[in-house]
Chains A and B, each alone.
Chain A
Amino acid sequence: MFETTVINSIIALIITVVVCFLISTLLPGIERKYVHARIQQRIGPPVTSPGIMAPIKFLFKENIEPSSPVPGLYKALPVICFFVVLSILIAITPYAFAIPALSSLVAIVGLLKVEEICYVLMGSLSKSIMSVRMPFPDRVKGAAHLNTTRSFIEDISAKRSLRMITYGSFPLYLALFAPVTAARSIFLNDIVSYQQAHGPFLFTVAGGIAAIVFFIGYMIILNEYPFSIIKAKCDVIEGPYMEYASKYRSIVFITRGFLMFTLGVLFSVLFIGIPPTVFSPTILLNIVVVLIFVLMMGIFSAFTPVFTNRQLLPTILASTLLGILAIVLGLL
């Protein structure tokens, strides 16, 4: 009897993850075509192009060796990122609630931290052609400061990611812990059952504030436009992802859509109390929440320039304070 339950759970889990994965590949296209292009008054790419077709195309490209001091580790990092996101998604499905170590907020926060540390490593291991390695005679007689150390643009990006780990991701983590104050437990099982008994946490005052903070944190961890300083096009071009080619680049593309989806589902688990499962119509609600997040993020990013530290610090400070306020309100 016990074995059948486990096997059934595993099958249901796999189906849920596959469905979620398939939907997540559409998200970058939806953001690009229906939000950005619509706001910019143009037609925009087909929905399938950025999220599905581009990764498939990259699979068939030559697997060129990245220029990196440790190519093996550099190439492993997107795979690690992908599995981290996958584990987060598995952790928030109801089938994982039986494993308390995985389905707790501590595990999720830890996994998200791994994701962020991957950006630092990616940035410091990538040595692209676009800056120092460009064969250009600029250190010649008469040039200024001939003996300085030279940095690749990705090194700056790595430094910024490190800074983002220290303070940039505070809002998201605070928002994650806001529902804990209501449910008085860090286990997702308890948070979900508390909300099923008392109504969604989103519709309380603390929940409303925490939702705003969650949204800001969501944009920060996805590096979307106002907070995209670690891959700002105007100096570091693509930042940590500069050297990925072929299948590693396609994993990078897929992970981004998957992370968008996972964080949206995480919100619906923590704030509305609906864990994703294909065998219940409530998964539609999960998808709707994900879509709302993607649309809102698209609208925000279309109307904001990239923030430098001058704007980033106050924004993050303000949202951190809001997050603390939400937690205090929840505790009262």
Chain B
Amino acid sequence: MGIKSFSRARAIHIMLVYTGGCNGCDIEIVNTVLSPRFDAEQYKVFLTWNPREADVLVVTGPVTHLNRKPLEAIYEAIPDPKLVVAAGSCALMGGVYKNIHGDIPSEEIEGPVENIIPVAAKVPGCAVRPQDVLAGVVSLLPTLLDAD
């Protein structure tokens, strides 16, 4: 293990972008990082709100119309190597908002996130459990560590 992957494994900055879900996932994820119960900092995961600092972008919500461009812009602003975790069923496949019509697609939803930016890990759940988010970020570690 070189110094590159060694240091990457010991400081992971995640940034959260909410794209118009129901708020449940956002609060669960902010909770994972903030609350003393789960305390993601002990696993060397830090929450940041600056795209230039982030390594992992956690996206929640089904990407509504007005959120498409901000999401793309924030993704562009993150320096490589960068990875995207789509958290929650809305981010994975549009959730109830996109799919409840049956075959008729909803006009309001641009998502899922995969349609807009490349997704590296998917965390299912409505709403995601904090443990699952941590597991999702951890499952990205090998990819992140070996990136250039």
Q: Nearest CB to that of A243 among chain B residues?
A: B52
Chain B residues, CB < 8 A from A166:
none
Q: Is the CB of A42 within 8 A of B39?
A: yes
Residue A1 is within 8 A (CB to CB) of chain B in the complex: no
The one of B4, B41, B51, B52 in contact with A42, judged by C-beta atoms closer than 8 angstroms, is B41
Chain B, interface SS category: helix
A interface footprint on B59-81 (CB within 8 Å = 1, 0 otherwise): 00000001001101110010111
Q: Is the CB of A60 within 8 A of B52?
A: no
Q: Is the CB of B79 within 8 A of A60?
A: no
Known: A54-B13, A249-B53. 5 other contacts (CB 8 A): A49-B44, A57-B11, A237-B50, A245-B79, A249-B52
B interface footprint on A46-79 (CB within 8 Å = 1, 0 otherwise): 1011100110110011111010000000000000
Chain B residues within CB distance 8 Å of chain A = 3-4, 6-8, 10-11, 13, 36, 39, 41-42, 44, 46, 49-53, 55, 66, 69-70, 72-74, 77, 79-81
Residue A244 is within 8 A (CB to CB) of chain B in the complex: yes
The smallest C-beta distance from B66 to any residue of chain A, in angstroms, reads 7
Q: Is the CB of A129 within 8 A of B77?
A: yes
Q: A129-B77, A135-B70 are in contact. Are A53 and B42 (CB under 8 A)?
A: no
A-B pairs, top 6 by smallest CB distance, nearest first, are A42-B36, A53-B10, A56-B7, A135-B69, A62-B80, A43-B42
The one of B4, B6, B44, B73 in contact with A45, judged by C-beta atoms closer than 8 angstroms, is B44
Chain A residues, CB < 8 A from B49:
130, 233, 237-238
Q: Is the CB of A136 within 8 A of B69?
A: yes
- Measured between alpha carbons, how far is A176 from B20 in the docked complex, in Å? 52
The smallest C-beta distance from A67 to any residue of chain B, in angstroms, reads 8
- Measured between alpha carbons, how far is A317 from B127 in the docked complex, in Å? 50
Q: A53-B10, A129-B74, A135-B73 are in contact. Are A64 and B52 (CB under 8 A)?
A: yes
Chain A residues, CB < 8 A from B7:
53-54, 56-57, 60
Chain B residues, CB < 8 A from A37:
39, 41
